[in-house]
Amino acid sequence: GAVVSQHPSWVICKSGTSVKIECRSLDFQATTMFWYRQFPKQSLMLMATSNEGSKATYEQGVEKDKFLINHASLTLSTLTVTSAHPEDSSFYICSASAGGSYNEQFFGPGTRLTVL
Amino acid sequence: DAKTTQPNSMESNEEEPVHLPCNHSTISGTDYIHWYRQLPSQGPEYVIHGLTSNVNNRMASLAIAEDRKSSTLILHRATLRDAAVYYCILRVGGGGSNYKLTFGKGTLLTVNP
């Protein structure tokens, strides 16, 4: 089956620093990748949608200058949390879609970010 | 977006069937019904999807009401590894890969040994 990986699986950083999270589709080419955020005991919230080679489309209320998304290839998308603060601590999950008639989304295992 | 309503939590015993309900009274004719589940500290996992007819796969069965305003995910024999949050999601049909999945609160399934 289609596999999506994320790196790192967890990261701890100091307030004010930037953190980059990678999302890779290992055995298929992902036309579209999605980034979600999940706070403890809450559901997933879509942050942005990115298509390879295009600018990401951000959901309402998500700061595009704070959460930089790059989808430079069909197998890699990155999310950079710039000038991270403790309130950015969350579980970040990506998903990837290969396109086609059904377009199922395959999810990564998530990245736990803790900002001190 | 069409919304879904699920019970907050359900309990089951190991090796017994589990029926997880989902109401989606505002579903449109082209919306697919998706089910995903999420184990603790993991990304969601696809379970099953359907449009109008009942569907079966190795993980579960999906029973869709004739008017499509509700559906039921059926786990035929629950195991401890099935303990997770189950999400019922409506996905807009059609081509293209930009469709969004809007996650609700889901149902927390507890499986008792």
pLDDT in tens, B63-97: 999 999 999 999 999 999 999 999 999 987 555 55
A1 min Cα distance to partner chain B (Å) = 11
User: Are residues A97 and B97, on separate chains, in Cβ contact within 8 Å?
Assistant: yes
Q: Is residue A32 over pLDDT 80?
A: yes
Average pLDDT on B7-20 reads 97
**Residue ranges with strand state E in B1-113:** 9-13, 18-23, 31-38, 45-50, 55-56, 61-64, 70-75, 84-92, 107-112
Lowest mean pLDDT among A66-70, A100-104, B18-22: A100-104
Q: What angle do CA A33, B54, A46 make, to 5 degrees?
A: 20
Q: How far is CA A79 from CA A51, A90, B40, B78, in A?
A: 13, 13, 22, 37
Closest CA to A33 of A4, A7, A10: A4
Contact A63, A35 (CB under 8 A): no
Q: How far is CA B28 from CA A15, A29, B35, B67, in A?
A: 45, 30, 17, 11
User: For residue B88, what is the DSSP state?
Assistant: E
- B42 neighbourhood in chain A, CB within 8 Å: 109-110
What is the number of other CB atoms lying within 10 angstroms of the CB of residue A54? 10
pLDDT at A100: 62
pLDDT at A72: 84
Residue A48 CB burial class (10 angstroms; 0-12, 13-18, ≥19):
buried
Contact B96, A31 (CB under 8 A): no
Confidence of residue A103 (pLDDT cuts 50, 70, 90): low
High-pLDDT (> 90) share of chain B, %: 78
Q: Is residue B54 over pLDDT 80?
A: yes
Residues of B with CB under 8 A from a CB of A: 36, 38, 41-46, 49, 87, 95-106
Query: In angstroms, rounded to a whole number, what is the distance separating the alpha carbons of residues A98 and A49?
Result: 13
A44 min Cα distance to partner chain B (Å) = 6
Confidence of residue B98 (pLDDT cuts 50, 70, 90): low
Q: What is the mean pLDDT of chain A?
A: 93
Closest CA to B23 of B50, B2, B49, B44: B2
Contact A48, A93 (CB under 8 A): no
Cβ-based contacts under 8 A for chains A and B: 59
Confidence of residue A101 (pLDDT cuts 50, 70, 90): low
Query: In angstroms, rounded to a whole number, what is the distance separating the alpha carbons of residues A15 and A12?
Result: 10
Q: Is residue B2 over pLDDT 70?
A: no
Query: In angstroms, rounded to a whole number, what is the distance separating the alpha carbons of residues B107 and B88?
Result: 9
- B49 neighbourhood in chain A, CB within 8 Å: 104
Residue that is written with structure tokens 């942005």 in the block: A48
Picking from A32, A36, A93, the nearest residue to B98 by CB comes out as: A32
Nearest residue on chain B to A105, judged by CA atoms? B46
Percentages (nearest 5) of helix, strand, coil residues in chain A: 5, 50, 45
B101 min Cα distance to partner chain A (Å) = 8
